[in-house]
Structure 1
Amino acid sequence: MYVSDATVISGGNWLAGLCLAGAGLAAYALVKLVRWVVTARRATRGSERGGEAYFHNLAEAIPEMVWTTKADGACDFLNQRWCDYTGLTSEQSSVWGWTAALHPDDVIETSASWERAVRTGTPFTIEYRFRRASDGAYRWFLGRANPIRDGQGRIIKWFGTCTDIEDQKHNQQILEDQIRERTEELADTNTRLQEEMWEKDSARRALDQQNEKMMRELTERSQRATLLAKMGELMQSCISKEEVFAAALGYAPKIFPTSRGALALLNGRRDLAEIAGSWHQCQVPETVFEPNRCWALRTGHPHLVVAGDPTAPCAHAAGVKNTYLCIPILAQGEALGILHFQATDDAPTLADSELSFKTTFAGQVGLSVANIRLREALRTQSIKDPLTGLYNRRYLEEMLDREIRRAVRAEQALGLLMLDLDHFKKFNDTYGHDAGDTVLRESGTFLAKSIRAEDIVCRFGGEEFVIILPTANLGAACARAERIRSKLRELTVLHQGQSLGMVTVSVGVAALPEHGTSPKELLEAADAALYRAKREGRDRVAAAEARVTAAAKLSATGASAR
């Protein structure tokens, strides 16, 4: 049975719309419906209740379950065919009582669908099962309902039908079963044919597979060798250990796609190894460990631990269930760290043929790190004073020029302190040059601890030091110089268990822009101030005098002439 779209009823009489709402009823009932429409329209002038009774009589004559509800979805009429089928009375089925006849598996979906249709005013269509009272069996029905609206578009009624589709469902299931059986038969036949073809071609396929595997392995090894060579070239151009680690960790998953891994390096004291990075989500129990906890670091040779073998596991890998391999990273015979490889569940073994790749990989990492350490050592030697550990004059000139340009660009101040240890010759003459070196070292250490992170302290030469103070104006620089001078007096310098006495310092202070905007001008101003501090009695701070410009000199000369 078919229910048409929502019908609008004029004149406030909902009964006049039920014919249109049920336009798809059985053909033999169509004439009755037409006549009923005429009767319903006439009834609007007389008794609406009479028209409703006529509709109920007509609904009983239709060979379908017919029902209506109020605007809120509560059932208020079901024809006798419903009662005969379900065994429920009209009173039992009213409002929401009709759901008692639904199959338990259909209750939730049907209720939700019906509530949604009532809430939105959209047509209701669903397939559900109702229990037949005569034998307790469930049959499939197609339920449809449409809203009946008044002249203002408000829903005043719902009209619905239930059509038995059990036979259609049954026929559909038979057809689906037949299709499935035919499909299975075809699949079985196709499988047998494929098996026969596979058996005939098995020898050829096996040979082809072996050839393909060999070619694939050769191609992979060639590609990995190329990647290894590219990594080596890249690492030779790295200028920091961080760049080496980034290159190694970037190439490792490409060169070793079937194994997880991590890279660990020894610290400067060589008493701890720390994981620098990993790939393929390698699980490393200890990110920091002592070198003696790894057999590869202890022996200087690759160490393989097969899964489940308790012979000689590495302590730093305790808890690792899969097979793993540790390879020392060596440079000039010195161990720098390890490469740690782990097998995966997909590739549970580490093939011996892979050892050469892994060893070469570790060797390139070690060589690159050693080269960088050598370059760093050479760089340090070129910019550090070997006695005090402070930056030297060469570095001072480089940094002072950079800081002046930065201060001018940012329109910020810059302070410069030039310090000279008082009576330093006395230490050498009285206690010897070793004692003088001790005074220089201790003074350098004191100055390094007395500055900010952004300040730069350098040994200028002999017993002279220079401190660059970024963003410090003249007043701040003088205050910093005075604090250093006073604190240095408290320094106790011991040489061979003997105190060398009080160490004092004279300080000359210059600042940008008051005393110049070039390294030469600032250094000369600070040196002149230092000379004045020495001349005035030492152990004091003196600020450089402000520059006299050419215009000021000309003005002063003219005033003198007058």
Structure 2
Amino acid sequence: MDNAMSTTPPEPPLNAIAELLKQRDQASSALANIDRALHLELTRAAATGTDAISPTALLRQLVIQPDVANGVLTATDALASAFPHTQGTLGLRSAQGSTRIAGAWRLGQSGTHLLKDSGTSLAPPSLTVPLNGYSIDIGELRLWSVEQQTQTLPEQATIHAFAVAIEAGLGGLILKERLAGDSARDPLTGLFNRRYMEDTLDRELHRAVRKQLELGLILLDIDRFRPFNERYGLPAGDQVLRALGGLIQASFRGSDVCCRYSGQQFVVILPEAPLADTLRRAQQLQVLVRELDLRYEGRTLPRISLAVGIAHFPRHAAKGDNLLAAAESALYRAKQHGPNHVMIAEKYE
């Protein structure tokens, strides 16, 4: 019966930690492979006099990233720079075995956009490289050549050198997130908790300032949730929160950070998202929530709706606290207009 945030996260089981540490030890062979692959790549780079990012530099960048989402952005940035005449996707494998596109690049421009029609209209990839690090099935790297037919992909040894660096870097980040997962996740919804959200927002704003990027912030609140709990009970309310958390997680990009902010409020951080895209994604979620079928102990629960406040960097604020305050003000105005409304923030003064 949660409707309040848990403040004491459970400790990871000791046997789980032991298994993860065992997997970490197994990474030594992967690092040896990196050394061999990088020697070939760096020898070639020295011969051609290129200054492009190397697998070594990519690995050094990956190991200092705070989480997998930032690692994916770093990897796609590097791949876009290293292979400017290709387009590609970086897919991550879920626990259920499905693969989602977490990052992509097109003609040297990185980001988390999907390729045309989510990739369905593209020809089969020119090259697919499975990614496995620390005994973890990370996902796969896919590349398409977009130059004239006479052009070919870069040497496969170079591509595989980058793949090995991604395996070691992302594999380590995934391992770290699994070890720390319980302390960063809300136990009821499985989304990130408020502390993680606040830390991530500060990091993403710092990156946005440094790279002159945009950032969207969505603050969600379930309409009339207190009367719902009073009528149907807290366990039914918890079921609603679980269902909504799953829908939010499934409705956003892999690079977006979905969090439970407080009892019935949720926050989504959208790196590199223009204001118009942030608004569109929030409105799409409102439609999906209105269609969400909710059941508890064999009975159908009434449908719910969301009030939404939206804020944007740099339009509305430049600091994390101020951006949240701007979104909260917009949410308050949305709730004043009645259920299922969305409002855009005003500039925070």
- What whole-Å deviation, never above 9, does each CA across 1:68-106 have from its counterpart, x for those lacking one? xxxxxxxxxxxxxxxxxxxxxxxxxxxxxxxxxxxxxxx
The residue number in structure 2 matching 1:451 is 252
Q: Which runs of 5+ in 2 are unaligned?
A: 1-16, 33-94, 97-134, 136-172
- What whole-Å deviation, never above 9, does each CA across 1:312-338 have from its counterpart, x for those lacking one? xxxxxxxxxxxxxxxxxxxxxxxx9xx
Kept in 1: contact 2:189–2:241 (CA 8 A):
yes
The answer to whether residue 314 in structure 2 is matched with residue 513 in structure 1 is yes
Which secondary structure state, in structure 2, belongs to the residue aligned with residue 507 of structure 1? strand
Aligned equivalent of 1:435, options 211, 214, 236: 236
The answer to whether residue 44 in structure 2 is matched with residue 243 in structure 1 is no
The alpha-carbon deviation at position 373 of structure 1 amounts to: 11
Distance 1:477 1:375, change over 3 A: closer
What does residue range 227-376 of structure 1 map to in structure 2 within 5 Å?
A: 243-247=24-28
The answer to whether residue 217 in structure 2 is matched with residue 416 in structure 1 is yes
The answer to whether residue 285 in structure 2 is matched with residue 504 in structure 1 is no
Alpha-carbon distance in structure 2 between the residues aligned to 1:530 and 1:242: 45
What does residue range 461-500 of structure 1 map to in structure 2 within 5 Å?
A: 461-500=262-301
Kept in 1: contact 2:192–2:258 (CA 8 A):
yes
- What whole-Å deviation, never above 9, does each CA across 1:423-445 have from its counterpart, x for those lacking one? 11122111111100000000000
Which secondary structure state, in structure 2, belongs to the residue aligned with residue 510 of structure 1? strand
Distance 1:489 1:241, change over 3 A: farther
Alpha-carbon distance in structure 1 between the residues aligned to 2:213 and 2:227: 40
Kept in 2: contact 1:515–1:545 (CA 8 A):
yes
Kept in 2: contact 1:238–1:244 (CA 8 A):
no
Alpha-carbon distance in structure 1 between the residues aligned to 2:317 and 2:213: 13
The alpha-carbon deviation at position 536 of structure 1 amounts to: 1.3
Distance 1:433 1:244, change over 3 A: same
Alpha-carbon distance in structure 2 between the residues aligned to 1:533 and 1:444: 21
TM-score (norm: length of structure 2):
0.52
Alpha-carbon distance in structure 1 between the residues aligned to 2:174 and 2:336: 46
The alpha-carbon deviation at position 473 of structure 1 amounts to: 1.7
The answer to whether residue 335 in structure 2 is matched with residue 534 in structure 1 is yes
Alpha-carbon distance in structure 2 between the residues aligned to 1:501 and 1:531: 23
Aligned length: 197
Which secondary structure state, in structure 2, belongs to the residue aligned with residue 382 of structure 1? helix
The alpha-carbon deviation at position 243 of structure 1 amounts to: 3.4
Alpha-carbon distance in structure 1 between the residues aligned to 2:277 and 2:175: 40
What does residue range 6-405 of structure 1 map to in structure 2 within 5 Å?
A: 243-247=24-28, 379-405=180-206
What residue identity is the alignment partner of 2:300? Answer: S
Distance 1:244 1:437, change over 3 A: same
Distance 1:413 1:536, change over 3 A: same
The alpha-carbon deviation at position 244 of structure 1 amounts to: 1.5
What residue identity is the alignment partner of 1:426? Answer: P
Kept in 2: contact 1:427–1:500 (CA 8 A):
no
Alpha-carbon distance in structure 2 between the residues aligned to 1:395 and 1:455: 13
The residue number in structure 1 matching 2:112 is none
The residue number in structure 2 matching 1:276 is none
Alpha-carbon distance in structure 2 between the residues aligned to 1:422 and 1:249: 50
Alpha-carbon distance in structure 2 between the residues aligned to 1:452 and 1:241: 31
Alpha-carbon distance in structure 2 between the residues aligned to 1:374 and 1:504: 36
Distance 1:403 1:537, change over 3 A: same
Distance 1:429 1:237, change over 3 A: closer
Alpha-carbon distance in structure 1 between the residues aligned to 2:179 and 2:25: 18
Kept in 2: contact 1:404–1:519 (CA 8 A):
yes
Alpha-carbon distance in structure 1 between the residues aligned to 2:179 and 2:209: 32
What residue identity is the alignment partner of 2:341? Answer: R
Distance 1:416 1:374, change over 3 A: closer
Kept in 2: contact 1:514–1:547 (CA 8 A):
no
Q: Which runs of 5+ in 1 are unaligned?
A: 1-235, 252-267, 270-335, 337-371, 549-562
**Cα root mean square deviation, aligned:** 3.1
Alpha-carbon distance in structure 2 between the residues aligned to 1:537 and 1:240: 51
Distance 1:248 1:458, change over 3 A: same
Identity across aligned pairs (percent)? 42
Alpha-carbon distance in structure 2 between the residues aligned to 1:446 and 1:373: 23
- What whole-Å deviation, never above 9, does each CA across 1:339-388 have from its counterpart, x for those lacking one? xxxxxxxxxxxxxxxxxxxxxxxxxxxxxxxxx99986651111000000
What residue identity is the alignment partner of 2:255? Answer: E
The residue number in structure 1 matching 2:70 is none
Alpha-carbon distance in structure 1 between the residues aligned to 2:319 and 2:200: 12
The answer to whether residue 188 in structure 2 is matched with residue 407 in structure 1 is no
The alpha-carbon deviation at position 496 of structure 1 amounts to: 0.8
Alpha-carbon distance in structure 2 between the residues aligned to 1:545 and 1:448: 27
Distance 1:529 1:240, change over 3 A: farther
The alpha-carbon deviation at position 242 of structure 1 amounts to: 5.3
Kept in 1: contact 2:317–2:347 (CA 8 A):
no
What residue identity is the alignment partner of 1:436? Answer: G
> Greater relative contact order (Cα 8 A, min sep 6): structure 1 or 2?
2
Which secondary structure state, in structure 2, belongs to the residue aligned with residue 482 of structure 1? helix
The alpha-carbon deviation at position 482 of structure 1 amounts to: 1.0
The residue number in structure 1 matching 2:114 is none
Which secondary structure state, in structure 1, belongs to the residue aligned with residue 218 of structure 2? strand
Alpha-carbon distance in structure 1 between the residues aligned to 2:297 and 2:18: 47
- What whole-Å deviation, never above 9, does each CA across 1:475-501 have from its counterpart, x for those lacking one? 221111111112210001110111111
The residue number in structure 2 matching 1:104 is none
Kept in 1: contact 2:307–2:340 (CA 8 A):
yes
Which secondary structure state, in structure 1, belongs to the residue aligned with residue 182 of structure 2? helix
The residue number in structure 2 matching 1:78 is none
TM-score (norm: length of structure 1):
0.33
The alpha-carbon deviation at position 246 of structure 1 amounts to: 2.3
